[in-house]
Amino acid sequence: MGKTLLLISRRTEDQAFAAQVAMTAGLSLHTIHKHEDSGTAIVAEEPLVIFVDACKEDLYQAFERSIQESIGMFSERINPNNIHFISSRQLEHLPYLVQSPLFGHFIMRNYLNTKESGEHYGYVVRATLLERAFGIKNMMSPKAKVQVVKLSEASQKRDAVEAVKNYLLAAKFQSRMATVVANAVDELLMNAIFDAPVDELGRPLYNTTPRSAQMKLGGRQVVEMHLAYDGKYVAITAVDLFGSLDKMSVLSYVSKSYSTSEYKVRTSVANAGIGLATVFKSGGSFLFASESRTRTEVTVFFRRLDNYRKFKDQFRFLSTQMYF
C-alpha cells in the first residue's frame, strides 16, 4: 500500500487543502476529477487516505457505484476509517452520508485559510493512520503542551471544567469563547461519567442516574481529561474505559440535533455514547475514537480567534475511528 492521499474532486480549494494535509501527514497527493474513476484509482494507487467531494448526492452515488463495481463495498481495500467526505453543506442536509456504510469523516468546506486548516487537519489525519487514533498529542502540532486530569469522583467534573475555562482565559481566549469550549467539555465529561459505563451485556449502568448524583469513579469508571494547546488550537479529550460508543447512533442523533438549539447527542438514549455539547454551530470539531469494550476517546478542537463571528464560523470537521 502506497503512502498516498487520493483526492476525488474538481475544486481548486479542495486541491489546495488536500495538498497541505498530505504534506503535514507525510503523504503524497494524487488527484482525479471523475467520481466514476474512483474504484480504478483506488485499485491502482492503494491509497492510505481518500478525500471525496460529496456535496451532491449524485457525486456520492457515483463514488459508491464505482467502488461497488470495481472493488466491492466490503473489500479489505475499503476502510471507512480512511474515507473523508467533503461538503459545503451541513451534515443535517446530507442524509446519504450519515447513512452511508462508508462514512468515516466529514469535512466542512469552510477552509478560510487552506494552509492553516490543512496543516491542522493533517495532524488529525496523521493520528488516524496509527494503529489506534488514541492520544491527544498525536493530533496536534509538536508545539502542543499536554496536561492530564483524572476524575475519581463525579463531583470533580465541575472543578475540571472550571480549570479548562481559566486556562483558556489565561491563554487569551475571549470570555465568550472560553465559555463555549468549557460547556463542550462539561458535556463530554458528563457523558463519559454517566453514559459510557455499560455492563457485560452492553446495557447502560447510569444513563438514568441524575447528573447531580455523587458517585465514586473507581476501576474502569475512572475518567480522564486531557488538554493540549499549541498556541493556535486547543484540544480537550474525555477518556473512558468502556468502549461503548456506537457510530451510527452518534451520527443519527448529531445530524438530527443540528436544527435544535441544544446541539447535543441525547444522553437519555441507551448506547448513545459520549454526547456533544457544541458541534458546528459553535465552531467545534470532533474526533471520536473507540475500541469496542476497551476504550473511547472523544476530542474537541477549537481555534483561538480574536473575533467571535470568526470563531463561530471557523474550519471544522467530524471524524470517527471505530475499532473492533
In angstroms, the CA 30 to CA 307 distance is 36
Residue 146 near residue 164 (C-beta atoms within 8 A): no
Q: How do residues 42-80 score in pLDDT, each as one tens digit?
A: 999 999 999 999 999 999 999 999 999 999 888 888 999
Mean pLDDT of 308-322: 93
Q: How do residues 125-182 score in pLDDT, each as one tens digit?
A: 999 999 999 999 999 999 999 999 999 999 999 999 999 999 999 999 999 999 999 9
Chain centroid to Cα 131, Å, comes to 17
Chain centroid to Cα 252, Å, comes to 15
Q: Would you list the DSSP string of 269-310?
A: STT--S--S--GGGT-EEEEEEETTTEEEEEEEEE--SSHHH
What's the pLDDT score for residue 273? Answer: 37
In angstroms, the CA 301 to CA 185 distance is 10
Q: How do residues 270-283 score in pLDDT, each as one tens digit?
A: 333 344 644 557 88
What's the pLDDT score for residue 265? Answer: 43
Examine the pLDDT at 104 and tell me if it is beyond 90: yes
Closest CA to 204 of 193, 214, 218: 193
Q: How do residues 224-262 score in pLDDT, each as one tens digit?
A: 999 999 999 999 999 999 999 988 877 876 676 544 444
Q: Express the helix, strand and coil content of the chain in percent, nearest 5 each.
A: 40, 25, 40
Average pLDDT value for the chain: 90
Examine the pLDDT at 268 and tell me if it is beyond 50: no
Q: Cell digits for 163?
A: 480549570
Examine the pLDDT at 319 and tell me if it is beyond 70: yes
Residues linked to residue 145 through DSSP beta bridges, in sequence order: 229
Phi, psi of 277 (to 5 degrees): -95, -50
pTM of the model: 0.92
SS3 160: helix
Residue 257 near residue 265 (C-beta atoms within 8 A): yes
What's the pLDDT score for residue 256? Answer: 64
Question: pLDDT > 90: what percent of the chain?
Answer: 80
What's the pLDDT score for residue 276? Answer: 62
